[in-house]
Amino acid sequence: MMLYAIDAVDTFFFRNASPFDADLSQSASSMFPPLPTVYAGALRYADTSVDKSRTAVSRKLKIGFNGLMADGRILLPRPLDTMVLPSTKLKILPLAPAPVGSNPLPLILSGKAITKEKEIEPKGGGYLDEAGIVQYLKGYNFNSVCLSLSDLIHRERHVGIQIDRYSGASQAGAWYSIEKVRPVSQGNSRCSLVVEAEGVDVHTPGAIKLGGESRAASIRNLEQGCHFEPASSDKKYFKLYLATPAIFKQGWLPWWIDSASKEGVFAHKKRRIRVRLISAAIGRYVAVGGFAFEKRRPREMRYAVPAGSVYFFEIIEGEFQDAIRLFHQKCMSDHREGLGFSYQNWDRMRYCDRGFGYSLVGNIGSEQGGIVHV
């Protein structure tokens, strides 16, 4: 896949799923970074192929990793099995037995035994650079600093009023405000969007329209690829980190995990693995909507597991290397564009091709997984 960097010419507007009009719901907020569907739509219309229809481009288009880059370093959302200390350093939370109750999994994450410091939440969300994520995936005791999204972007509130298209006069009571995002771009500091894609012919360096209001942006190729060094282990446990939101058929559970036993089998080509879900660190759901320009109507709203969520698995059949081959740098979301959840699970449809659920496999270090003898 080709890795592209996208820079704002002015501001970006990626509206969230909250209702918005110029009468009752007068204020719109912008999410950042955008959902993977934003890139799919932008690249589809930026394709310069003369012998391809939009439908043909959509079928061939594949989106991989998508996220942020600051000062040439790829950034990923903070894993939710960590806590941020007042020093902005991260601490990995250990697994502990779940208390008697309604918890559906045998283990939980607990920070009570490791520190008395108060946990903080970076404004706008926390991010790690590529080196920090690789350390995290290998299960090392890492001292990475958690970057705050608020240091990478500026949020601006724009106010307007709806104009009557026939009279040209402003409409009474049709006031509205829009929150837009301006990525940092001062001196050597620059915040960019990055996306992996294939199946499109985009002229670079060039211009592209992105997000709400079709805001102008510049797009360029990056010589560096998007490669996250995989962990290695001979243990029967691993964790799956989601770098982008994932839409699962069972809400927080993938379709291939049984909701009762929490066991499941995942296979692709000649590889197969059977696992049991033993714990999870999942954030608040993300509403995924959008507008289908081909059908001229809004897309059906879906709830997605947020980026940064982590699933802990015990391997029942197979090896750690099977987990690497099947899940690492693969898009594990269940939903398919245009098909929903109703499709044949054969090779071409095994993985999501729109960038949802981009996953990385990590080792559960001894500090975190001592309770399961890792």
Instruction: Concatenate the DSSP letters of all residues of 111-125 into one string.
Output: -TTT--SPPB--TT-
Provide block-wise average pLDDT over 10 residues at a time, the chain (374 residues).
91 78 68 91 81 74 94 94 88 88 87 70 90 91 84 87 80 78 84 92 89 88 87 92 96 94 93 96 89 72 94 96 96 86 73 93 85 61
For 152, left (φ over 0), alpha (ψ -120 to 50), or beta? alpha
- Cross-strand pairs, 304: 286
How large is the greatest C-alpha to C-alpha distance in the chain, in angstroms? 74
Given the structure tokens 């001979």, which residue do they identify? Answer: 234
Span(s) in the chain for CATH 2.60.40.4350: 237-372
- ∠ Cα 188 191 193 (to 5°): 140
For 213, other C-beta atoms within 10 Å of its C-beta total 13
pLDDT of residue 6: 94
**For the whole prediction, is pTM greater than 0.85?**
yes
pLDDT of residue 374: 54
The answer to whether the bond into 205 is cis (omega within 30° of 0) is: yes
pLDDT of residue 59: 80
Dump the DSSP string for 266-287: EEETTEEEEEEEEEEE----EE
Cα–Cα distance, 5 to 129 (Å, whole number): 16
pLDDT of residue 25: 62
Architecture per CATH, 237-372: Sandwich (2.60)
pLDDT of residue 369: 74
pLDDT of residue 355: 93
pLDDT of residue 350: 83
Per-residue pLDDT tens for 190-200? 899 999 998 88
CB 355 within 8 Å of CB 40: yes
Residues 6 or more apart in contact with residue 62 via CB below 8 angstroms: 1, 197, 198, 199, 353
